[in-house]
Amino acid sequence: MGDIRLIEVKEEIFSDNIKLAAEVRERLRKTKTMLLNLMSSPGSGKTSLILRTVEGLKGSLRLGVIEADIDSTVDAEKVAARGIPAIQLRTGGFCHLDATMVTQGIDAMAVNELDLVIIENVGNLVCPAEFDTGAHKNVMILSVPEGDDKPLKYPLMFSICDLLLVNKIDYLSLSDFDMAALRKRVLALNPRITILEASCKTGAGIEGWIDWLKGEVAAFKGLE
Amino acid sequence: MGDIRLIEVKEEIFSDNIKLAAEVRERLRKTKTMLLNLMSSPGSGKTSLILRTVEGLKGSLRLGVIEADIDSTVDAEKVAARGIPAIQLRTGGFCHLDATMVTQGIDAMAVNELDLVIIENVGNLVCPAEFDTGAHKNVMILSVPEGDDKPLKYPLMFSICDLLLVNKIDYLSLSDFDMAALRKRVLALNPRITILEASCKTGAGIEGWIDWLKGEVAAFKGLE
């Protein structure tokens, strides 16, 4: 297998995807629906953060969720059980979501009735960073047990995100995680990123996340 | 972008890779060098386990390490600092290792002088499971903070491994991780898998891992 052949294929896929992602963004701008792409490693807390967000936005913003899962529906079931419109995309072995899959998701939702749609991407710090989903905002979670060296190893993901939420800060007491070193590494890659610290388990820091979300949606809708 | 086109490309890449992986396996069988492919999510403890393994095998088996990293050399430096032959493959954005990249790695090592080569794959539970590296054994780490539901979400990875090492058991006291539920889910996917529990931080359970490794290498070499 030649590297060059594979790279050509990737470029063709990328250019088709970039066009479609721009269409998704424009379509949702018209309905004033902000699309947010949530990414992380497996088990960092994407679903837990979405469940906290459902709770935190209750009565203020109308939320929908698109769940990507390779083979199961466990996450969509948890969200739907809270009365939130949830679409499950089975990626069938794909390691990321692209704009085609997201289009299928929003086609299946009444997006004009929603203020915010959160996409839970496949748990993976590599491939999702390469594929524009059409989201207006990219958010990633890094959990404390993963370690403070991850920006050195997965730099693209940290570079393309608007916000990094450092989750599982309740594990800090058992860990040698160096928050100052992490911040320095992340900001070296992406000086404009917002960094928040939280624990989806205890609820610490979740208010800051909800405030950020409300501010971003308001700005997106042009209300402020 | 049509799904069908992408799948055709993937199949062509897969069939080339399968042939080359078989060649890698055969080549290392001749030099009696066991090749082990170590996979996990980012931050589950692949490098920490390799450092524990360097320590545990000292004086008994001759070990080499192939490190995959998208963009950095931090892991290979840690291994080389212990006097172990270490090759760093920069995957340049690739989300997995394939047999071509592994061939480049073993071409650069004196494999005939080694009993065991461990490949540290890219931190990712999806793509590495799809690409045969040519390894004789596949091993994965799942760390306690990632959660006991991961077999439901990344089933292929659990299906192709010979051994699962559940790492960071020192976090169990802070976690609602259900080890019995995990074991049941993993064994439903892969009844022949060996499951070990360990903490690379405290050293608990590492002896069992070293014993398993020594047993597998001895069997591979036909000494028992």
> What's residue B94's pLDDT?
78
Average pLDDT of chain B, as a whole number: 90
CA distance B27 to B42: 30
Q: Which residue of A has its CA nearest to B10?
A: A6
Spell out where chain B has E strands.
Answer: 34-39, 63-69, 86-90, 116-120, 137-143, 163-167, 194-197
Distance from CA of A216 to the nearest CA of B (A): 29
Q: Tell me the pLDDT band of B3, cut-offs 50, 70 and 90.
A: very low
The model's pLDDT over B127-137, given as tens digits with 9 standing for 90+, comes to: 999 999 999 99
A13 to chain B, any CB pair closer than 8 A? The answer is yes
pLDDT in tens, A1-48: 333 344 455 566 678 899 999 999 999 999 999 999 999 999 999 999
More confident residue, B68 or B190: B190
pLDDT surpasses 70 at B9: no
∠ CA(B166), CA(B84), CA(B66), 5° rounding? 60
- Determine the pLDDT at residue B15: 81
Which amino acid, B131? F
Asked if A42 is an interface residue toward chain B (Cβ–Cβ < 8 A), one would say: yes
**Residues 6 or more apart whose Cβ sits within 8 Å of residue B201:** B48, B168, B170
Ranking A78-82, B68-72, B155-159, B190-194 by mean pLDDT, the lowest is B68-72
* Residue B2 confidence (pLDDT) above 90: no
Name chain B contacts of A77, Cβ cutoff 8 Å: none
pLDDT at B16 over 70: yes
Residue A118 has φ and ψ, to the nearest 5°, of -105, 130
Q: Which residue has the higher pLDDT, B13 or B116?
A: B116
Q: In sequence order, what are the beta bridge partners of B98?
A: none
Averages of pLDDT over runs of 10 residues in chain A (224 residues) are: 43 81 96 97 96 96 89 79 88 83 93 96 92 96 96 94 97 95 97 96 98 96 76
- Which pLDDT band, with edges at 50, 70 and 90, does B76 fall under? confident
Which of B125, B153, B170 lies nearest to residue A174, judging by beta carbons?
A: B170
Residues on chain B touching A146 (C-beta within 8 angstroms)? 41-44, 145
Q: Say whether pLDDT at B223 is over 70.
A: no
The residue whose two tokens read 């294929």 is: A9
Here the tokens at position A212 are 């950020």
Residue A37, H or E segment: strand A34-39
Alpha carbon of A64: minimum distance to chain B alpha carbons (Å): 21
Q: What is the pLDDT of residue A11?
A: 63
ipTM of this complex: 0.77
Residue B214 pLDDT exceeds 90: yes
Residue A113 is predicted with a pLDDT of: 96
Contact between B37 and A136 under an 8 Å Cβ cutoff? The reply is: no
How far does A162 lie from chain B, in Å, by closest CA? 20
Cβ neighbourhood burial of A109 (10 Å; 0-12, 13-18, 19+):
middle
Which residues make Cβ contacts (< 8 Å) with residue A206, sequence separation at least 6? Answer: A52, A56, A198, A200
Minimal Cα distance from A174: which residue of B? B171
**Predicted pLDDT at A5:** 41
Q: Is A172 touching B (CB cutoff 8 A)? A: no
Cα of first residue to Cα of last residue in chain A, in angstroms, is: 53
pLDDT at B81 over 60: yes
pLDDT at position B17 over 80: yes
Cα atoms in the Cβ-side hemisphere of radius 13 Å centred on B223: 8
Position A10 scores a pLDDT of 56
pLDDT of residue B11: 63
The b-or-e profile of B4-16 (16+ CB within 10 A means b, else e) is eebeebeeebeeb
pLDDT over threshold 50, residue B6: no
Structure tokens at B49: 């386990």
Q: Is B215 helix (H, G, I), strand (E, B) or coil?
A: helix
In terms of pLDDT, which residue wins out, A74 or B125?
B125
- Residue B20 CA to residue B100 CA, distance in Å, equals 7
